[in-house]
Amino acid sequence: MKTGNGDIELAGIVKSYDDGQTYAVNGINLKIPDGAYCCLLGPSGCGKSTILRMIAGHEDPTSGEIVIGGENVVGLAPVERRTAMMFQSYALFPHLSVRDNIAFALRVRGLSRSDRYRKADAMIEKVRLTELRDRLPGQLSGGQQQRVALARAAITEPRVLLLDEPLSALDEHLRIRMRTELRSMQQDLGITFIHVTHTQLEAIALADIVVVMDKGAIRQSGPAREIYSAPRDRYVAEFLGGQNVLSGRIGEINGVRATMNGALFSEVAIPLPAGKRLETGQELDIAIRRDDIELKPLSQKGMLPADSASVEGTVNGIEYQGNFVKVMLQAAGEDEFVAFVPERKFFEENLAIGEKVLAVWQISHTQVMA
Amino acid sequence: MTARIPGDSAKPASRVVRPRASGRPWTFYVLAGFFTLYLIALYGPMISIYILSFQDLKGGLVFPMRGFSLHWFHELFYQTRTGDFSGSFRRSIGLAVLVTVITVVFSFMAGLAFRKRFRGDTFVFYLMIGSLVAPGLVLGIGIGLAFTLLGLQASWYTSALGAQLSWTLPFGVLVMFAVMSRFNNQWEEAARDLGANASQRVRLVVLPILAPGLVAVALFGFTLSYDEFARTLQTAGPLNTLPLEIWSMTLNVTSPSLYSLGTVSTVVSFFIIGLSLGSIVLIQRHRTSSRRAALDVHIGEKQ
């Protein structure tokens, strides 16, 4: 069911309130290719929902252009934009049956009863709700409600589907199941999905493009793997999680490596990233993935391989996670320096709280950030 | 744990009301007795009036009953010496219907308007509450005087209508606020998203969802108007409404037909309440049956 070009371009979008006193969204530029699954990720109040509502046509930007399929849609009604929105708590009409909810868009277009029910029933079958067709929304579970909401939006044959925190109303277990369902639905329909969430796991599991936002601006956008493993700055690294961030100044630079000194650590070797000029004395953040950290006894300090860097730390917390163990350290002046130790390995070594250890990683695994 | 939690183990257990052998504390019986007295005080006089309205011809205004008859009802409808019952009854119903319609329409619109903040919204709100707390009798006298001053003839469908609306509108709007607080604005937004225009949004989404609430507003409007006295007293003009008629009858009628009037107006009230509740049930039944009909069509298509 391909229904026209759903590539989106946001150009210089600004949304301000109170006559320019406060900005919900401040200067957003973003391109989303047709048929992509895009997640807008950020804490509440970062402007991600406002962007979604502006693309949907429920709010107008103060300035800037929203281009869908090559056409500026600012000022057009949602139907004219050929977008459809799935609301946070689904906003199913409580007085209409599943079937009438799904057929609503066809009803307001003036289709006859038999026509709209024929089309609605085809859609109902697609989302496997045939048995529940005559129920009211109040009689459905959260997962079923989500499917109704999806079907109700999809029946308008949109080229872009906008989802506002679609999984937040569900419990943990169902969330993971419906996540998979959303992705397969998107592949079925072959249209652009824009999904707003504050859960990083949801975003990286689903999206082709993850857009990390903060205070009305984009901090980084790109494929999920790039965002997770190569965060551009401290904010992105900490929001996505799974990284230890160290702040310091560049010490010596020699050819392919440099050293970095922080308040509570010194002489940590970092790689020189290609295309970025570093100077001695420059302030810098680096990130090291928590699963790249190996914990070794302090006695091995002088015997580390040449391609590794390390900091000293004290174990101040241990959490068993099943497939790995989360070991929290007081290290390098950071509140939370964490190593994800493989489960079997952890129980071979038997670390205890209060023990001093060496956190070691390969220099080439360091992500140098702005 | 050795630390004492104040108010937990420190307090003697004898302070607690202990269940008796029957499983209920003594306070239950005190409260139950009090509640029974309350019920008697509330319904006793009313029920006495309903019973006394069926007095026979020789019966008086008090017990004992001297046989049963419908004589006083007959007197009420066909004797003019007891007062203009049927005329005042018709006026009261007409006035109540007018008040109800205006109250429902106005409250619905106010409910929609107050979803968003607008300039002067608090002022409008307090203005409304003001007319609710203003003493009804004074307000009625004021409106009556204003009509005299302007040289207009006061009547039940002009001055009394206005005076009653000053009472039912704020009530209706307050009920509507409570109803609207459970209305999710995303429903309307979703309808817009699916292509519904403004009138379709109201007709297909807002009105059906709010329908039970609107019936409640209507019921409020009707009952408040139907037995309104204070505001109507000085504004009804030369022709009485039912409550005014009853009041004047208590001054000069000394027969049980006064009681039968009470019985009739109670029956009308119950009829209106039944009608309202019945309509809510009908709305719901209509919805389920239309779904069932749709289901039958579908099964027919498959065969």
Render pLDDT for B262-289 as a digit per residue (tens, 0 to 9): 888 888 888 888 888 888 788 777 666 5
User: What was the pLDDT predicted at A98?
Assistant: 92
Residue A2 forms part of a structural domain: no
How many domains, in total, are found in chain A?
2
Structure tokens belonging to residue B22:
């029957």
CB A68 within 8 A of CB A159: yes
User: What was the pLDDT predicted at B11?
Assistant: 46
Yes or no, beta carbons of A156 and B295 under 8 Å apart: no
**Distance, C-alpha B126 to centroid of its chain:** 22
Task: Give the strand pairing for A63-68 and A8-17.
Answer: antiparallel
Encode pLDDT of B188-241 as tens digits. Answer: 999 999 999 999 999 999 999 998 889 889 988 998 898 888 888 888 888 888
Q: Which of A65-79, A263-277, B158-172 has the lowest mean pLDDT?
A: A263-277
Question: Is the pLDDT confidence value at B303 over 50?
Answer: no
Do A301 and A250 belong to one domain? Answer: yes
- Residue B283 near chain A (CB below 8 Å): no
Cis peptide preceding B64, ω within 30 of 0: yes
Do A39 and A133 belong to one domain? Answer: yes
Encode pLDDT of A136-178 as tens digits. Answer: 888 888 888 988 999 999 898 888 999 998 888 788 888 888 8
Q: Which of A93-107, A188-202, A270-284, B44-58 has the lowest mean pLDDT?
A: A270-284
CA distance A168 to A151: 18
Question: Is the pLDDT confidence value at B301 over 50?
Answer: no
Do A280 and A198 belong to one domain? Answer: no
Average predicted confidence (pLDDT) for chain A: 86
Question: Is the pLDDT confidence value at A134 over 60?
Answer: yes
Question: Is the pLDDT confidence value at B16 over 60?
Answer: no
Structure tokens belonging to residue B54:
């069926």
User: What was the pLDDT predicted at B7?
Assistant: 43
Mean pLDDT of A83-95: 90
Structure tokens belonging to residue B278:
């019945």
Yes or no, beta carbons of A134 and B291 under 8 Å apart: yes
**C-alpha angle with apex A194: A107 to A8, nearest 5 degrees?**
95
User: What was the pLDDT predicted at B289?
Assistant: 58
**CATH classification of the domain holding A314:** 2.40.50.100
What is the distance in angstroms between the Cα of B28 and the nearest Cα belonging to chain A?
38
Question: Is the pLDDT confidence value at B291 over 60?
Answer: no
User: What was the pLDDT predicted at B302?
Assistant: 40
Question: Is the pLDDT confidence value at B22 over 70?
Answer: no
- In the structure, what pLDDT confidence band is assigned to residue A2 with cuts at 50, 70 and 90? very low
Q: For the domain with range B85-252, which CATH number is right: 1.10.10.10, 1.10.3720.10, 3.30.1360.70, 3.40.50.300?
A: 1.10.3720.10
Mean pLDDT of B7-14: 46
What is the distance in angstroms between the Cα of A79 and the nearest Cα belonging to chain B?
5
Yes or no, beta carbons of B192 and A78 under 8 Å apart: yes
Do A65 and A210 belong to one domain? Answer: yes
Of B267, B266, B228, give the one whose Cα is nearest residue B247.
B228
Neighbouring residues of B286: CB distance < 8 A, sequence distance ≥ 6: none
Q: Which of A49, A52, A60, A93 has the most B C-beta neighbours within 10 Å, making it the best mutation to test the interface with B?
A: A93
Residues of A within 8 A of B184 (CB-CB) are 89, 91
CA distance A175 to A168: 8
**C-alpha angle with apex B38: B25 to B224, nearest 5 degrees?**
135
CA distance B174 to B168: 10
User: What was the pLDDT predicted at A299?
Assistant: 82
CA dihedral sign of residues A153, A159, A163, A164: negative
What is the distance in angstroms between the Cα of A33 and the nearest Cα belonging to chain B?
23
SS3 for A114? helix
Do A192 and A277 belong to one domain? Answer: no
- Which of B200, B208, B295 lies nearest to residue A134, judging by beta carbons? B295
Question: Is the pLDDT confidence value at B300 over 60?
Answer: no
Of A57, A72, A60, give the one whose Cα is nearest residue A25.
A60
- Residue B129 near chain A (CB below 8 Å): no
- In the structure, what pLDDT confidence band is assigned to residue B9 with cuts at 50, 70 and 90? very low
Residues of B within 8 A of A117 (CB-CB) are 294, 297-298
Residue A90 forms part of a structural domain: yes
CB B243 within 8 A of CB B228: yes
User: What was the pLDDT predicted at B105?
Assistant: 95
- H/E stretch holding A30: strand A22-32
Please tell me which residue, B302 or A313, carries the higher pLDDT value.
A313
**CATH classification of the domain holding A124:** 3.40.50.300
CA distance B156 to B165: 12
Counting every residue written for chain A, the total comes to 370
User: What was the pLDDT predicted at B290?
Assistant: 54
CB A344 within 8 A of CB A324: no
CA dihedral sign of residues B147, B148, B149, B153: positive
Yes or no, beta carbons of A108 and B208 under 8 Å apart: no
User: What was the pLDDT predicted at B3?
Assistant: 44
- The percentage of residues in chain A with a pLDDT greater than 90, rounded to a whole number, is 20
Burial class of B281 by CB neighbour count within 10 A (0 to 12, 13 to 18, 19+): exposed
CA distance A97 to A117: 12
Q: Which of B182, B187, B194 has the most A C-beta neighbours within 10 Å, making it the best mutation to test the interface with A?
A: B194
Residues of B within 8 A of A156 (CB-CB) are 194-195
DSSP 8-state symbol, A139:
G
Yes or no, beta carbons of B200 and A78 under 8 Å apart: no
- Residue B57 near chain A (CB below 8 Å): no
Do A142 and A164 belong to one domain? Answer: yes
Do A121 and A154 belong to one domain? Answer: yes
Encode pLDDT of A218-277 as tens digits. Answer: 999 999 898 988 888 889 988 888 888 888 888 878 777 888 887 777 778 888 777 777
Do A70 and A197 belong to one domain? Answer: yes
Residues of A within 8 A of B294 (CB-CB) are 99, 113, 117, 134
What is the distance in angstroms between the Cα of B217 and the nearest Cα belonging to chain A?
19
CA distance A72 to A337: 47
Do A142 and A256 belong to one domain? Answer: no
Question: Is the pLDDT confidence value at B294 over 80?
Answer: no
Question: Is the pLDDT confidence value at A16 over 60?
Answer: yes
Residues of A within 8 A of B199 (CB-CB) are none
CB A123 within 8 A of CB A144: no
- The percentage of residues in chain B with a pLDDT greater than 90, rounded to a whole number, is 22
- Chain A residue nearest residue B185, CA to CA: A91
User: What was the pLDDT predicted at A1?
Assistant: 40
Of A314, A354, A319, give the one whose Cα is nearest residue A337.
A314
Do A248 and A102 belong to one domain? Answer: no
Structural domain containing residue A358: 242-369
- Which of B193, B205, B291 lies nearest to residue A85, judging by beta carbons? B193
User: What was the pLDDT predicted at B32?
Assistant: 95
Question: Is the pLDDT confidence value at A196 over 50?
Answer: yes
Do A260 and A358 belong to one domain? Answer: yes
Please tell me which residue, B9 or A349, carries the higher pLDDT value.
A349
User: What was the pLDDT predicted at B103?
Assistant: 95
Q: Which of B186, B193, B203, B285 has the most A C-beta neighbours within 10 Å, making it the best mutation to test the interface with A?
A: B193
Yes or no, beta carbons of A95 and B209 under 8 Å apart: yes
CB B276 within 8 A of CB B218: yes
Which residues of chain B from 177 to 216 reach within 8 Å of chain A, CB to CB?
A: 184, 186-187, 189-197, 200, 204-205, 208-209
| Predicted ipTM of the assembly | 0.80
- H/E stretch holding B259: helix B257-302
CA distance B282 to B290: 12
- Residue B297 near chain A (CB below 8 Å): yes
Do A214 and A352 belong to one domain? Answer: no
